[in-house]
Amino acid sequence: MKKHNFSAGPCILPQEVFNEASQAILNFNNSGLSIIEISHRSKDFVNVMEEASSLALELLGLEGKGYKALFLQGGASTQFLMAAYNLLQSKAGYINTGSWSSKAIKEAKLFGEVIEIASSKDANFNYIPKGINVPSDLDYIHCTSNNTIFGTQIKDFSFADSAPLVCDMSSDIFSRQLDFSKFSLIYAGAQKNMGPAGTTLVVIKEDILGKVNRQIPSMLDYSIHASKDSMFNTPPVFAVYTSMLTLRWLKKNGGIETIEELNEKKAKLIYSEIDVNPLFKGFAVEEDRSNMNATFTLVNEDLKETFDSMCKEAGMNGVNGHRSVGGYRASMYNAMTIDSVAALVEVMDELERKA
């Protein structure tokens, strides 16, 4: 039986995407060939890449606005260094809201001066810093829109009016409406809301490129990937194809506007249970709670074994928290149904009745 998959990443994708993707492994477009054995230069695959890129821009409302969508490799972790390599000339400002932000900061320091313009490290990253003072001489500002591990999410990006904004959106891309044209560079590892691991979506405003005067190795140069339409080298064909299927699914189901409503309902459902059920307490401060990753702990750790086995019994997968927070984390990406969230809430209720 299919499980309720709350895994933080790799994670749930729409069932119809799994079905179509597995079909394409056997026989892609009735070609008598598998998607993973055809040339990436074949017309069939070039069409896939084009559709994936244009769907990404369309869904984000960035078509015709000077942006390019690329499907690269090396995960979001490679973007930590690639962003700085391509954009950091003298000084960049980073907002440190968790482990991923900290890793991005570490990499960027190899390329220039990096200042932390705000941090929530003082409270183990359970909140998003507010009232951020941004110096006027930054090449760019970097932030992490959703902190997958700690379960916080930036709701207000108004700090970023004075410098180009670079954002790691790995775990909430395509989940909510934002004015995406405020961002000069968005990157996201596919495996949280878009596809299998193996490709990273990079959406870049082309006019921010070409401003640093260092040599950039070809594989790390956004301009080269942009000029070759993500085909500078062999792209991860299956990951791109499956991402395209997910983007098609999203568009067919009403796009970001519709999925955002569902994501809000799912988040309300779990957070109200966390708040009402005396056995649990939320980790993130209320106003900064993520709609994608809900983090919570048991008030009484002695109930852990019971709760864990009840979760297992009910077909839950991946509700265990990250080691740096402990407790539990329910990741509710776009493809998660409200029924799965309701099923988890039911287990939490049942624990309360039992305890």
Q: Annotated active-site positions, please?
A: 100, 168, 192
Task: Kindly give, in sequence order, each residue whose CB lies less than 8 Å from that of residue 295, ignoring residues fewer than 6 positions away.
Answer: 150, 151, 282, 283, 284, 321, 325, 327, 328, 329
Kindly tell me which residue out of 171, 175, 290, 334 binds ligand PLP, with binding defined by CB under 6 A: 171
3-state SS class at 308: helix
Q: Is 293 in the site for ligand PLP (CB under 6 A)?
A: no
CB of 281 to ligand PLP, least distance (A): 23
Residue with the shortest CB distance to ligand PLP: 75
Identify which of residues 76 and 279 has a Cβ nearer to ligand PLP in the complex: 76
Q: Is 189 in the site for ligand PLP (CB under 6 A)?
A: yes
Identify which of residues 152 and 273 has a Cβ nearer to ligand PLP in the complex: 152
CB of 192 to ligand PLP, least distance (A): 6
Three-class secondary structure assignment of 234-272: CCCHHHHHHHHHHHHHHHHCCHHHHHHHHHHHHHHHHHH
Sign of CA dihedral 109, 224, 41, 184: positive
Bond from prior residue into 10 cis (ω within 30 degrees of 0) = yes
Contact characters 48-87, ligand PLP, x per CB under 6 A:
---------------------------xxx----------
Q: Does residue 316 come out as left (phi exceeding 0), alpha (psi in the -120 to 50 range) or beta?
A: beta
Task: Kindly give, in sequence order, each residue whose CB lies less than 8 Å from that of residue 182, ignoring residues fewer than 6 positions away.
Answer: 157, 160, 165
Residues in binding contact with ligand PLP, number by CB under 6 A: 12
Where would I find the beta strands (DSSP E) of the chain?
A: 4-5, 67-72, 91-96, 113-119, 140-144, 146-147, 152-153, 165-168, 185-189, 200-205, 280-282, 293-298, 316-317, 328-331
CA dist list (Å): 172 to 28, 263, 280: 30, 10, 25
With CB under 6 A as the contact rule, which of the stretches 13-21, 165-173, 222-230, 327-335 interacts with ligand PLP?
Answer: 165-173
Q: Is 240 in the site for ligand PLP (CB under 6 A)?
A: no
Q: Is 168 in the site for ligand PLP (CB under 6 A)?
A: yes
Kindly tell me which residue out of 4, 6, 9, 225 binds ligand PLP, with binding defined by CB under 6 A: 9
Q: Is 148 in the site for ligand PLP (CB under 6 A)?
A: yes
Kindly tell me which residue out of 176, 192, 205, 225 binds ligand PLP, with binding defined by CB under 6 A: 192
Identify which of residues 192 and 345 has a Cβ nearer to ligand PLP in the complex: 192
Which residue ranges make up the site for ligand PLP (CB under 6 A)? 9, 75-77, 100, 144, 148, 168, 170-171, 189, 192
